[in-house]
Chains A and B, each alone.
Chain A
Amino acid sequence: EAGVTQFPSHSVIEKGQTVTLRCDPISGHDNLYWYRRVMGKEIKFLLHFVKESKQDESGMPNNRFLAERTGGTYSTLKVQPAELEDSGVYFCASSQMGASYGYTFGSGTRLTVV
């Protein structure tokens, strides 16, 4: 089966610009998660979708971040306007219902804000 796909794999933008990251989960996985790893820190949770609904967005750092999941399929994470501290690797993961340990992660999008 196809894995979790994320693109772009790498993005370099200037401070103040907008960037949109996309995640295509494994087909049939209702759970979709966004995580982020900033330099020197651990991977941290951002938010969790169940189908098209936001189940938990407690990890979103501020209102410059907007996540959507269209029709319960792919998801986008928009950062507008980007700040230097937003640099890091953004991971998407998906899982079937009731499977906290069954995450499959994508390879991540490496975001660099200059």
Chain B
Amino acid sequence: QKEVEQDPGPLSVPEGAIVSLNCTYSNSAFQYFMWYRQYSRKGPELLMYTYSSGNKEDGRFTAQVDKSSKYISLFIRDSQPSDSATYLCAMTFNNAGNMLTFGGGTRLMVKP
């Protein structure tokens, strides 16, 4: 069993739709949760991070963490064609520079 599970997609939505991306994980020791966006032939780019449970909002993006269910989500409101990319969840145990454990990524396509 993978430590972090993520539906690979592709997920295709029309422009303006609300997008929901999710990851589940098995290790309850994870405390920091991140979402990265990766465009083709580029490296992952940090979108959002959250510590422990709760919500965090940044513009059109909202990250949610439910540690009791070991489930994290990223919501994108008013999706744009420029949001088309692969979205990767990642998590780690503490903020001491330890390694990240990634999900496999979900490919999102936003159609104009």
Contact = CB atoms under 8 A, between A and B. Distances in A.
Interface string B83-100: 000001000101111111
Interface residues of B, number: 27
Interface in B54-112: 88, 92, 94-105
Given A33-B99, A101-B32, A42 B41 contact: no
Given A41-B104, A42-B2, A101-B34, A91 B44 contact: yes
Interface in B7-58: 32, 34, 36, 41-46, 49
Contacts of B102: 42-44
Q: Chain A interface residue count: which class?
A: 20 to 34
Contact of B43 (A44, A56, A97, A105): A105
Contacts of B32: 100-101
